[in-house]
Structure 1
Amino acid sequence: MPLHVPPAPAPALRSVLAALGSPTAVREDRTPALRSVQGPVSPESPLPVHVLDRIVPSAGRPCTRLTGWRFLIRSGERSVAAAETTLTADGWTFSHFFEGPYLTSTERALRQAESMITAFQPRLLSIPELYMLALWLHGDTDADASTGMPLPTDVLVPLAPAPPGIAAHRPHRVADLLPVMTLRLTPAPLLGSPA
C-alpha cells in the first residue's frame, strides 16, 4: 500500500532548494557526494523529524516533538545526500547536508514500508537516549505531520546502525518495542559488593 507522505512546509523546501542552488548560501561545506555529483539534484521524500524526549515506561505514552524536516537529495536514480531543515523564530530554515549509513537505511526502510499492506504516514523518530533513529509509520494517514505521539499500534522500523539488542529493519509495533527500549536504558543491578 502506498505511503501517505505529508507535504513539507513550503519554506522548508525553499530553504533546501536555495542551499542546493547556491554553494555560498550556506556556511557549511557540501558533503563529498554533493561536491562530486554530475548533473542536477533534487530534494525528495520529505520526512518530518520528531525527537523522543524521553522513553516512558509502560505507565505513559512517549513524548515527542517536531525538530525538523529531512529531504533525501537525489541525483538520477540514487540518493547522494540528505538535507535537514529546522524551525527557528523566523520560520523554517536550512540546517545542514549530510551523508552516511542513515541515508541508505532510510531508503531501504521506505521501500520496506511501501510493501506493507497497511497505509501509513512516514516520519522519522530520533531516540537520543539510545543513539537510535527509526522510521515511524504513523497509522493516522491524515494527521498533521508536525504533531502527535507514537500510538501503540504505530510501527517503528529501526534504521541501521541500530543499538545492540535491537534489530535494524525489523518492523515493531510501538507497544512491543517501547518495553525493549526501556529495558535497554535500565541500569543493570550491581552484583555483590567488593570484599
Structure 2
Amino acid sequence: MPLHLPSAPAPAVRSVAAALGSPTAVHAARFPSLSAAAGPLVPEQPLALHVLDPVATGAGLPKARLTGWRFLIRCGDVVVAAAETTITPDGWAFSHFCGGPFLASTVHALRQADALPSPYQPRLLSVPGLYMLCLWLHGDLGDGEQAQPAAADVLIPLAPAPPGIAPHRPHRMADLVPLLTHRLAPAPALETAV
C-alpha cells in the first residue's frame, strides 16, 4: 500500500474518542448518519489538516500551516462523519464533527491515491479563499506533520471543487499553484474617468 498514514498525536486521538463516547456530543452534531449509527463509531485514517497561506504571485510555492487533525468516523463499513481536532494552548482538543460532500470525496480520493504507484503521506489541504479542500499527497515520507509543500507533491481536489478545477483529477503541486494564485489574486482596481 503506497499510502503511509501518519500517527495523530495521542491527545488528539483521545479527544475524538471522548467525543464519540459522549451521547450529547454525537447527537448535537446534527448529522443523521452519525446520530443514527447502529454500532460502534470508530475513528480511523487520521489526516493532518493544513491551511494554505495566501499565495503571492511569483513567490514560488505557498506555505501551509497545520491547524488540526481530521479523522474519518466509521460505523461498520460506512463512513458516517468526520471528527476534527484543533490545537489549543493546552494541547490537542476535539473541535467538531463534520458531514457533507467532502466525506465521500475524501474516501474516494484516498482510494484513488492508494492506487498510485508512488508512496505518499496523505494530508488535507484547505484553501479557504476558494472554499476548496484537497487531498495532499506529500512525497517525502520522512517529513513530519509540519512539512511544507514540495513541487512534486500531488493534490487531488475534493468535490465540490471550485469552477474550472476538476475534482478527483490529480495535479502536481507546481502545476496547480499558478491556477490558485490567479484565482486568489485581488481583482485589479477599476480606473474611473474624471
Residue 85 of structure 2 aligns to a residue in which SS? Answer: strand
* Closer, same or farther: CA 166–32 of 1 in aligned 2, 3 Å: same
- Deviation for aligned residue 1:141: 1.0
4+ residue stretches of structure 1 with deviation over 3 A?
A: 24-30, 186-194
CA contact (8 A) 2:61 2:177 kept: no
By how many angstroms is 1:193 displaced?
A: 6.9
Q: Mark the CA change 1:190 to 1:11 in structure 2 (over 3 Å): closer, same or farther.
A: closer
1:96 and 2:86 are equivalent in the alignment = no
Instruction: Give the match for residue 160 of structure 2.
Output: 161
Matched, 1:35 2:27: no
Residue in 2 that maps onto 1:140 = 140
Equivalent-residue separation in structure 1 for 2:4 and 2:130 (angstroms)? 28
1:113 partner letter: A
Q: Which runs of 5+ in 1 are unaligned?
A: none
Secondary structure in structure 1 of the residue aligned to 2:149: coil
Equivalence for 1:116: 116
Which amino acid in 1 is paired with 2:135?
L
Query: Relative to 1, partners in 2 of residues 1:19 and 1:160: Cα closer, same or farther, differing over 3 Å?
Result: same
Percent identity between the two aligned chains: 63
Matched, 1:21 2:12: no
Calculate the TM-score normalised by the size of structure 2.
0.92
Query: Does 2:173 correspond to 1:179?
Result: no
In the TM superposition, residue 38 of structure 1 has moved relative to its aligned partner by: 0.3
Match of 2:57 in 1: 57
What residue is the counterpart of 1:66 in the other structure?
Answer: 66
Alpha-carbon displacement from aligned partner over 1:26-63 (angstroms, at most 9, x marks no partner): 89445221110101110000000000121232323201
Q: Which runs of 5+ in 2 are unaligned?
A: none
The 2-side partners of 1:192 and 1:94 are apart by 48
Given that 1:159 and 1:169 are in contact with CA atoms closer than 8 Å, whether structure 2 keeps it comes out as yes
TM-score of the two chains, using structure 1 as the length reference: 0.92
Q: Over aligned residues, Cα RMSD in angstroms?
A: 2.0
1:153-192 Cα shifts (integer Å, max 9, x gaps): 1000000000011110000001100011112223566899
* Aligned residue-pair number: 194
Q: Distance in 2 between matches of 1:9 and 1:186?
A: 35
Distance 2:2 2:61 in 1: 27
Cα distance, 1:118 vs structure 2 = 0.6
When residues 23 and 183 of structure 1 are mapped into structure 2, their CA distance, relative to the original with a 3 A threshold, is same
